[in-house]
């Protein structure tokens, strides 16, 4: 089987070498984002794997099908960059990645602690030899009511990890989980917003969850709430976040992902003029921590993502199914 891998990073190369040998596939590696202009690179390939910087729309999928592509894998959990309906209509099978939730859960709790302890200010002030304490007083995690919005695999792991802090944990999800209910209290959304000191998001980005955190929902939250988003940027309305910070309704933000990050994150843009005013305006606040969509980024997770990318294509091509297939 011949497959094309796009957006291949240096840290993925060893894993690609291992898993392509393990599954006896011929691998074509490209650093480029998949586009209609470079679609010819997949000629003769049955499968294509990519990350999430490109837009895999109907036009590109049609071209891939014309060139003989039968299956597609994204080495990410999120799949909103792929037109799944078009893929299904064209007969292209699609799967996403699956990896242990520990990496994102660890990062999420780190974000909570950094927001609680004024880490951004302390870090930068130390760089200019300002070792004063004024403005750096934090809060104890144990004293917080922490809300986990979305109790899938990652949300559940965050809740498990929070057990050791002794804090009160609330949960919200349209589908309640019996195991989660043993560790956290499920409440309705208004109670969730009203009572949580910290809210962390762990939902997929769907039409129903797009901009779920907006002016109206922020207004229902506790004054000074801390929001953490290590899930999908589109869950939050950036303008509403800016207004929340400026009015001090939001006490701090910990964001590993933000709407409009495509073309910014995972790139060195130091010498560039970047046309995303809201993203950078939000970035400059003293109580906003923004990282480069790296919560997933551990050795173990990267290897699992590449494994799913290769294994998923092989299984879908040979068996017509895979454990993470999205358009059954």
Instruction: Report the chain's mean pLDDT, rounded to a whole number.
Output: 95
Burial of 268 (0-12, 13-18, 19+ CB in 10 A): exposed
Residues 126 and 202 placed together within one structural domain of the fold: yes
Q: Please confirm, yes or no, whether 9 is among the known catalytic residues.
A: no
Instruction: Evaluate if residue 280 carries a pLDDT over 90.
Output: no
Which CATH number fits the domain that encloses residue 235? Answer: 3.40.50.720
Given 12, 202, 259, 293, the catalytic residue: 293
Q: What is the mean pLDDT of residues 124-150?
A: 96
Assigned domain for 324 exists: no
Residues 122 and 84 placed together within one structural domain of the fold: no
* 112 or 281, higher pLDDT: 112
pTM of the model: 0.89
Assigned domain for 208 exists: yes
pLDDT attached to residue 272: 86
Residues 212 and 286 placed together within one structural domain of the fold: yes
Assigned domain for 326 exists: no
Residues 76 and 63 placed together within one structural domain of the fold: yes
Residues 106 and 95 placed together within one structural domain of the fold: no
Residues 184 and 64 placed together within one structural domain of the fold: no
pLDDT attached to residue 262: 80
277 Cβ contact partners less than 8 Å away, ≥ 6 residues apart: none
Dihedral angle sign, alpha carbons of residues 253, 254, 258, 262: positive
**Tokens representing 263?**
């073309």
Instruction: Evaluate if residue 221 carries a pLDDT over 80.
Output: yes
Residues 108 and 255 placed together within one structural domain of the fold: yes
pLDDT tens digit string along 54-96? 999 999 999 999 999 999 999 998 898 999 999 999 999 999 9
Given 7, 46, 259, 261, the catalytic residue: 261
pLDDT attached to residue 223: 98
Residues 181 and 256 placed together within one structural domain of the fold: yes
Residues 119 and 267 placed together within one structural domain of the fold: yes
Domain coverage including residue 57: 2-99+299-319
- Name the DSSP letter for residue 140: -
> Domain total for the chain?
2
Q: Please confirm, yes or no, whether 202 is among the known catalytic residues.
A: no
Residues 195 and 270 placed together within one structural domain of the fold: yes
Please list, residue by residue across 308-323, b when 16 or more beta carbons sit within 10 angstroms of its beta carbon and e when fewer do.
bbbbbbbbbbeeeebe
Q: What is the mean pLDDT of residues 49-57?
A: 94
Residues 150 and 277 placed together within one structural domain of the fold: yes
Q: Please confirm, yes or no, whether 293 is among the known catalytic residues.
A: yes
Given 12, 46, 202, 232, the catalytic residue: 232
pLDDT attached to residue 108: 98
């Amino acid at each position: 089987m011949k497959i094309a891998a796009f957006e291949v990073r240096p840290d993925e190369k060893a894993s690609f070498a291992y898993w392509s040998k393990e599954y006896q596939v011929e691998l074509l590696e490209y650093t480029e984002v998949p586009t209609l202009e470079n679609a010819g690179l997949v000629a003769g390939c049955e499968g294509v794997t990519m990350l999430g910087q490109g837009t895999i729309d109907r036009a590109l999928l049609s071209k891939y099908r014309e060139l003989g592509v039968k299956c597609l894998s994204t080495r990410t959990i999120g799949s909103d960059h792929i037109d799944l309906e078009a893929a299904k209509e064209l007969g292209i099978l699609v799967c996403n990645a699956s990896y242990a939730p520990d990496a994102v859960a660890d990062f999420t709790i780190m974000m909570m602690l950094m927001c609680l302890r004024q880490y951004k200010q302390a870090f930068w002030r130390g760089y200019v030899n300002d070792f004063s304490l004024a403005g750096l007083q934090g809060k104890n995690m144990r004293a917080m009511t922490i809300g986990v919005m979305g109790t899938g695999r990652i949300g559940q792991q965050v809740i498990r990890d929070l057990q050791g802090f002794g804090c009160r944990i609330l949960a919200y999800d349209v589908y309640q989980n019996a195991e989660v209910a043993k560790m956290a209290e499920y409440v309705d959304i208004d109670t969730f917003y009203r009572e949580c000191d910290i809210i962390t998001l762990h939902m997929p980005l769907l039409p129903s969850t797009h901009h779920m955190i907006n002016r109206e929902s922020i207004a229902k939250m506790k004054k000074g709430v801390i929001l953490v988003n290590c899930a999908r940027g589109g869950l939050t309305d950036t303008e509403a976040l800016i207004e929340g910070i400026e009015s001090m309704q939001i006490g701090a933000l910990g964001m590993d992902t933000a709407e409009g990050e495509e073309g910014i994150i995972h790139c060195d843009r130091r010498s560039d003029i970047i046309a995303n005013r809201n993203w950078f305006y939000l970035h400059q606040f003293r109580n906003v921590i923004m990282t480069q969509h790296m919560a997933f980024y551990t050795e173990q997770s990267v290897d699992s993502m590449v494994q799913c990318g290769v294994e998923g294509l092989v299984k879908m091509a040979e068996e017509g199914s895979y454990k993470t297939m999205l358009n059954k």
